[in-house]
């Protein structure tokens, strides 16, 4: 009985560990742009990106926080 429980637990862990999000995997050395952030692939094959605040140009054009000469 303990063997069956161990096998089921092992099988569940295996399924969870292999069902990851493939969009996070990459080839080391790759680069991509995601909105206004730049991403690069680490040596372990996972994307790492900058975390800049990306604003929408429409929002910026109507924002009083941005000087009028920069709104275009």
pLDDT at residue number 51:
93
DSSP per-residue letters across 14-65: HHHHHS--GGGB--TT-EEEETTEEEEE-TTSBEEE--PPP--HHHHHH-SS
**Pairing of β 31-34 and β 47-49:** unpaired
Beta bridge partners of 37: 34
pLDDT at residue number 47:
95
pLDDT in tens, 26-65: 999 999 999 899 999 999 999 999 999 887 766 555 556 6
Task: Please state the pTM of the whole predicted model.
Answer: 0.45
């Amino acid at each position: 009985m303990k063997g069956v429980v161990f096998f089921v637990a092992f099988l569940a862990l295996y399924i969870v560990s292999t069902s990851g999000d493939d969009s996070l995997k990459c080839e080391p050395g790759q680069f991509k742009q995601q909105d206004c952030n730049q991403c690069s692939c680490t040596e372990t094959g996972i994307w790492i990106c900058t975390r800049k605040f990306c604003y929408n140009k429409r929002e910026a054009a109507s924002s009083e926080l941005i000087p009028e000469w920069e709104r275009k």
